[in-house]
Amino acid sequence: MARIAQRMYRYRTRIEHRHEGLNARAGRAPPALFSLAILVASRSGPERLEYRREFLGQGVYFSFHAVHLSQWLGRWSELESLARTNPFAVVIMAQLQALRYRTVSSGSLPVE
């Protein structure tokens, strides 16, 4: 998870720098950002991930939310209900079906 946290930090800073420049030229304040990791292949883990880097008393700290899709396997009926009005629920259902298929093929995760 440490590599994911580092990548998320890099993505965040790149987006901030990009929007800083664009908005400064347009005379606007940069937008507020929300960082969210959607983890497809992890079975479980913390709901928040962190990236820390320190050297000689200086440091960077970045935390963000993480969703582990496999935790939704047992909530299929809830997803079906949400899918009627939320297209993202349909995407999650498709990804979970793909995860189930890979699980059956590889035997790595139990299928519910």
Task: From residue 87, give the alpha-carbon distance in Å to each of 79, 82, 90, 92, 94.
Answer: 10, 8, 5, 9, 11
Categorize the per-residue pLDDT at 109 as very low, low, confident or very high, splitting at 50, 70 and 90: low
Digit-coded pLDDT (tens) for 39-67: 988 878 899 999 999 999 999 999 999 99
What global pTM score does this model have?
Answer: 0.70
Digit-coded pLDDT (tens) for 69-99: 888 888 899 999 999 999 999 999 999 998 8
